[in-house]
Amino acid sequence: MSASETREKMKKEINMEKLIWKEITGKKIRTFQLADEPYVIYVIPTRHDEYVIVKDDAYEMETGETEMLKGDEVKDKYGINLNADNDKCAITLSRREVLVYEVHSHWFASLASFKWGQYLMGKYFARKVRRKYNRYLTSLEERKRVVNENLK
């Protein structure tokens, strides 16, 4: 039996809608493992409510197969609701990413070349990013609250 025949047979036997997926946390790419099986799909956000699904399994039957789906299609095919977990917001920033952005975008950061100046700039950016990141997290929670109220 060839690999393509085995793959077709496996697709016919498995109904993806009724399987239980558990999420493996990540940053921008969401990873879901099929229960405790060595079958994983990677959900990569491309545009608003559009995702590339990359399949990977230990048996190398569907490894590397991709498909482009909308959020509703992912829910129908795999039973994974992407919009409920992240409020249609594909990417959340880490504190480190905000810090790198602030340092690289500030005009004065490149001028502080002496030790005392670097220390002061480090304190300034740490305080600024801490305040900005806390406001960012608060706004995400507020956005989720407003969206959930609108859905009711």
Provide the number of structural domains found in the chain.
Answer: 2
Instruction: Write the pLDDT tens digit of every residue in 81-116.
Output: 876 544 444 457 788 888 888 887 777 777 777 788
Instruction: Write the pLDDT tens digit of every residue in 33-62.
Output: 887 777 888 888 887 788 999 988 877 777
pTM of the model: 0.42
Q: Are 67 and 102 contained in the same domain?
A: no
Q: Are 8 and 52 contained in the same domain?
A: yes
Contact between 74 and 86 (Cβ < 8 Å)? no
Q: Is residue 26 part of a domain?
A: yes
Q: Are 74 and 17 contained in the same domain?
A: yes
Q: Is residue 17 part of a domain?
A: yes
Q: Are 12 and 71 contained in the same domain?
A: yes
- Tokens 């992240």 belong to 86
Q: Is residue 124 part of a domain?
A: yes
Q: Are 66 and 9 contained in the same domain?
A: yes
Cβ atoms within 10 Å of 30's Cβ, excluding its own: 20
Residues composing the chain: 152
13 has pLDDT over 70: no
Q: Are 68 and 8 contained in the same domain?
A: yes
| Predicted pLDDT at 67 | 92
Domain span holding position 117: 95-151
Q: Are 8 and 77 contained in the same domain?
A: yes
**Sheet harboring 30-34: ordered strands across?**
21-24, 30-34, 39-47, 50-57, 66-70
